Amino acid sequence: MSANDIKTAVKETSPLFIDGVWRPGSEQQASEDLNPLTGEVYAFVAQASAQDVKDAIEAAYRAREGWRNKLASEKEAILIKAADVVAARTDELRDVIIEESGSVFGKAMFEISYCVDLLRVAAGLVRQVTGETLPMTMPGQLGMTVRQPLGVIAGIAPFNAPFLLAMKKVAFALAAGNTFVLKPSEYTSVIGLKIASIFEEAGLPAGVLNVIPGPSEMVGEILMSDPRVKMVTFTGSTRVGRLLAAQAGKNLKRLTLEMGGKNPFIILNDADLDYAVDAAAFGIYFHQGQVCMASSRIIVEAGLFDSFCTKFAAKAKSLKTGDPHDPSTIVGPLIRESQCAVINEHVRDAVAKGAKLLCGGKHEGALYAPTVLAEVTSEMKVYGEESFGPITSVIRAADSEDALRIANDTSYGLSSAVMTNDLQKAFDLALRLEAGMVHINNCTVADEPHVPFGGVKSSGVGREGGHASMDEMTELKWITTQLGKRGFPF
């Protein structure tokens, strides 16, 4: 099967991509890839067997030296060409992202434009895999460090930003001189396979990138246990991340984890109310709240609390919910209707314990109405558990110190935000917030290709993006050179 076949794979079996070849699974198994809005089959996707996973690892392992030794200019050219391919195939990629993940039009377009920038950033970093010279205590000795590729890296990508988050793993790994095995989400495998076709068109040598949709537990177990895979980079739930971390420790395998979040958005009394409402709405309702950075806890200082709740609920009610193909739609479908039951339980539990449901709390199919719960307190499930949907908690804080206490009262620590016109207070809170990222006078949802993206506590280990990825995906080696003869004590 050619790359052209995968470009329009709708209700056809999309093949695996191993060692530069499009091929069916060796056990001829396929899974249904569903459209989240309609629940209908969008495509059938070949499922990797254990042998297919091993074949992908072997292909990447064989290709590692050839790719590592490519000239920087050759790697750059392929990454830049890949960016051009993405830009040229915007309409095709946008439609897959909408159909497969339920992303609304604007969010799908954002993923594509982000990936164009990402590939160009990665190309620019190819020549920046650098070390340093070090002064030595030993007479006549020169010291230096060099960074070298790890070899084979595996990536496990999520469904919520399936193109962006998979491409981020692949692009930086290739820029650092590594080869790659990508396991896309079972919900969004076609867009993962599109990444293979993009790099194929860009001229990437066979074996450097392999894409293997398949059963998560089986694929993950092989990737974590095979010693040829030197690193696994994962984005997904904290539950799965913990399991991978345990396996990585057992096998002494390098690992980066980008997991869940219960992100606090602090709004102090001196904030611009209308701006705060707009920022909070984007922070929680972007991609239906299915974002690890979503502003799922809005902590408002008491003086602004009531007026914020009134305006924010009105804003939430005004957001259009429906067909993600319509550019005016703000809130599209959840990835599966089954997630609605989780949100319903959070609403039921919160209301039973004294919270006020200001709007939402209902759904039609996988379309969940934008939901606002006010007066949320710590004994409610929604206070600490991820809902991963278009629902947020508005929590009253007595003052800025109380807001900080509430913000840090979570096992998560991914993103956070502070809205205030008091810059000294903003920086004070930013330094004390237990989060990997803090955004002042913005919401919690922000990402760029060159920044060190990641969290602390149960939100993750390691960082992705720019130089952070290059550091994570290379091995630092110390080299010394003795000029003349060293004097030894015996």
Enumerate the active-site residues: 258, 292
272 burial (CB, 10 Å; 0-12 / 13-18 / 19+) is middle
Dihedral sign, Cα of residue 84, residue 89, residue 91, residue 94 = negative
Tokens standing for residue 132: 């340093």
Contact 464, 168 (CB under 8 A): yes
Contact 295, 285 (CB under 8 A): no
CA gap 294, 390 in Å, rounded: 9
Q: What is the chain's length?
A: 490
Q: Residue 157: in which H helix or E strand, if any?
A: none
Give the alpha-carbon dihedral of 426, 431, 432, 437, to 10 degrees.
90
Other C-beta atoms closer than 10 Å to the C-beta of 408 total 15
CA gap 54, 212 in Å, rounded: 10
Contact 411, 458 (CB under 8 A): yes
| Widest distance between CA atoms in the chain | 82
CA gap 184, 192 in Å, rounded: 5
DSSP 8-state assignment for residue 399: S
Q: Residue 315: in which H helix or E strand, if any?
A: helix 302-318
Residue 233 in 3-state DSSP? strand
* 29-35 contact pairs (CB < 8 A, 24+): 31/186, 31/189, 31/213, 33/100, 33/187, 33/188, 33/189, 33/190, 34/187, 34/336, 35/99, 35/100, 35/102
Based on DSSP, count helices (H) and strands (E) in the chain, helices before strands.
16, 23
The DSSP bridge pattern shows strands 460-461 and 133-135 to be unpaired
* Residue found under tokens 């004590």: 489
95 dihedral zone (left: phi>0; alpha: psi -120 to 50; beta): alpha
Phi, psi of 334, deg, nearest 5: -70, 160
Cβ neighbors of 403 (< 8 A, separation 6 or more) are: 264, 266, 268, 299, 301, 397, 429
